[in-house]
Amino acid sequence: MSFPVTDELPTTKHEAYVRVFDDPDFKELRKRYSTFVVPMTIAFLVWYFLYVVCSNWAPDFMSTKVVGNINIALVFGLLQFVTTFVIAYLYAQFARTKLDPLATRLREQFDEEVGK
């Protein structure tokens, strides 16, 4: 069992690697990724936990009836599915418009450098 991870890469490619890592575009790419993902992750966790918090500390609010026997808890619960999808959609949009163009530019630079 041998892994190419531990194999030596051709020097040109390896140096190109390091330069990619130090490239401002690459730094910007990582920054953009984390400025989107970190707040979003926190936001959706808060949103999910809010349901449990409301259920535990505001049961009267949660059992308020909206229509017939449908109460706020049930509506809240179904909304969780919808938000999951909305967040994933936002992420895909973000990746397509904000991450992909930068990544493409990096690839072009890299190809030029390695002389592919």
- Chain residues binding another protein by CB under 8 A are 1, 3-7, 9, 13-14, 16-18, 20-21, 26, 29-30, 37, 40-41, 44, 48-49, 51-52, 55-56, 59, 62-63, 69, 71, 73-74, 77-78, 80-82, 84-85, 87-89, 91-92, 95-96, 99-100, 102-104, 106-107, 110-111, 116
C-beta atoms surrounding 59 within 10 Å: 11
Question: Distance between CA 101 and CA 89 in Å, rounded?
Answer: 18
CA dihedral 25, 30, 36, 41 (to 10 degrees): 170
Shortest separation between residue 55's beta carbon and another protein, angstroms:
4
> Strand pairing partners for 65?
71
Minimum CB distance to another protein, residue 37 (Å) = 6
Three-state secondary structure call for residue 67: strand
Of 52, 49, 43, 53, the residue nearest 86 (C-alpha) = 43
What's the closest the beta carbon of residue 53 comes to another protein, in angstroms? 10
- The least CB distance from residue 35 to another protein, in Å, is 13
